[in-house]
Amino acid sequence: MMHLAMGPKTYSLLHPIYVKPLRRFSVGKPTLSEEINESTFVVADIDKTGQLQSFWDYLKRTPKGELEGYREKRFAEAMQIAAAASGITINEYLRDNYHWASLGKAKFIFWHCDLSRWAESSDRVTFQAHDFSTPQAVSTDVYVLKTMLHDWPDKYVIKILQNLKPYLEAGSRLVMFESIFPSPDAEGRYNLPSTTLRMLCTTDL
């Protein structure tokens, strides 16, 4: 899904920690690994589990002595802060740049997962906690996926979207809202902040 601008500027951001998983999972293979448990974050093994567990597994795990679910809660709060603090205020952009009115009295499901515990549903809008690696279980007019797909390899994104199929009917809508970054040949023409470039490198690896 995401293009990483791989010019000299970007390579210079590669810390040795990014090289380790590349060597372990991708060297000698025709393509880079697309497995979510073969990443830099997984190799770092912050909880010292000795297992290859993804970032999402890490969020679900509660270390001894901590409040159950605190990592997921903190992550959800961080997402809200990121949306509010971004150069473009994402929620307002989403509100103002889609013809919501053209959908009439449609009913919506927002896949909001961990945030669903805090978001308030109404008679037309449901914030649904749903594991998107399994088939969608509820029918509605419009499904909204906001910044849900960007950090998944393409093969997983295809599976996630296929999981929506059983409940899609003629006229159903799928609204996806993601950040779009410059393509590799655009490096130099856009001055992305180095923090954004680092985040992109980490996500890709």
Ligand X SMILES: C[S@@+](CC[C@H](N)C(=O)[O-])C[C@H]1O[C@@H](n2cnc3c(N)ncnc32)[C@H](O)[C@@H]1O
Q: Which positions lie near ligand X, rule CB under 6 A?
A: 56, 79, 83, 112-115, 131-133, 146-148
Provide, rounded to whole angstroms, the least separation between the CB of residue 148 and ligand X: 5
Provide, rounded to whole angstroms, the least separation between the CB of residue 70 and ligand X: 14
Provide, rounded to whole angstroms, the least separation between the CB of residue 202 and ligand X: 13
Q: Closer CB to ligand X, residue 23 or residue 60?
A: 60
Q: Closer CB to ligand X, residue 5 or residue 148?
A: 148
Residue 110: C-alpha distances to residues 87, 107, 175, 181, 189 (Å)? 23, 10, 9, 24, 35
Closest CA to 113 of 145, 135, 84: 145
Closest CA to 97 of 17, 187, 194, 175: 175
Q: Are 47 and 35 in contact (CB under 8 A)?
A: no
Provide, rounded to whole angstroms, the least separation between the CB of residue 103 and ligand X: 19
Q: Closer CB to ligand X, residue 86 or residue 139?
A: 86
Q: Are 129 and 114 in contact (CB under 8 A)?
A: yes
What secondary structure, in 3-state letters, does 26-84 show? HCCCCCCCCCCCCCHHHHHCCCCCCCCCCHHHHHHCCCCCCCCCHHHHHHHHHHHHHHH
Q: Closer CB to ligand X, residue 24 or residue 74?
A: 74
Provide, rounded to whole angstroms, the least separation between the CB of residue 134 and ligand X: 8
Q: Closer CB to ligand X, residue 17 or residue 129?
A: 129
Residue 51: C-alpha distances to residues 40, 118, 151, 191, 201 (Å)? 13, 31, 21, 38, 23
Provide, rounded to whole angstroms, the least separation between the CB of residue 91 and ligand X: 8
Q: Closer CB to ligand X, residue 38 or residue 114?
A: 114
> Is the CA virtual torsion 21, 24, 28, 29 positive or negative?
negative
